[in-house]
Structure 1
Amino acid sequence: MPFKFESLNVWHDAMDLNDKIHLLTKQHFPKDEQFVLSPQRRRASDSIVLNIAEGSTGQSNATFKNFLNYSLRSGIEVVSCLFLARRRNYIDKDLFKSLYNQIEILSKK
Structure 2
Amino acid sequence: MSYNRIEDLEVYILAEDLSNEIWDITTQWDFFAKDTVGKQICRAADSISANIAEGYGRFHFKENKNFCYYSRGSILETKSFLRKMKHRGLVSEEIYNQLFSKLEIIHIKLNAYLKYIGKKSSGTKP
- Assess same fold via TM > 0.5: yes
Partner of 1:70: 70
Post-superposition offset of 1:6: 2.1
Post-superposition offset of 1:4: 3.1
**Alignment size in residue pairs:** 106
Residue deviations 1:32-55, cap 9 Å, x none?
A: 122211111111111111100000
Gap regions ≥5 residues in structure 2: 110-126
Give the aligned CA root-mean-square deviation in angstroms. Answer: 1.3
Kept in 2: contact 1:4–1:57 (CA 8 A): no
Q: Distance in 1 between matches of 2:106 and 2:16?
A: 11
Q: What's the secondary structure of 2:35's corresponding residue?
A: coil
Q: TM-score, normalised by structure 1?
A: 0.90
Q: Distance in 1 between matches of 2:105 and 2:22?
A: 15
Partner of 1:33: 33
Kept in 2: contact 1:55–1:65 (CA 8 A): yes
Kept in 2: contact 1:55–1:68 (CA 8 A): yes
Post-superposition offset of 1:59: 2.6
Q: Distance in 2 between matches of 1:70 and 1:102?
A: 18
Q: Distance in 1 between matches of 2:31 and 2:58?
A: 41
Kept in 2: contact 1:14–1:106 (CA 8 A): yes
Residue identity in the other structure for 1:4: R
Residue deviations 1:63-97, cap 9 Å, x none?
A: 11111111111111111111101111111111000
Q: Which moved more, 1:10-19 or 1:55-64?
A: 55-64
Residue identity in the other structure for 2:6: F
Q: Distance in 2 between matches of 1:47 and 1:19?
A: 12
Q: Percent identity?
A: 32
Residue identity in the other structure for 1:40: Q
Q: Which moved more, 1:50-59 or 1:98-107?
A: 50-59
Matched, 1:94 2:94: yes
Gap regions ≥5 residues in structure 1: none
Residue identity in the other structure for 1:11: Y
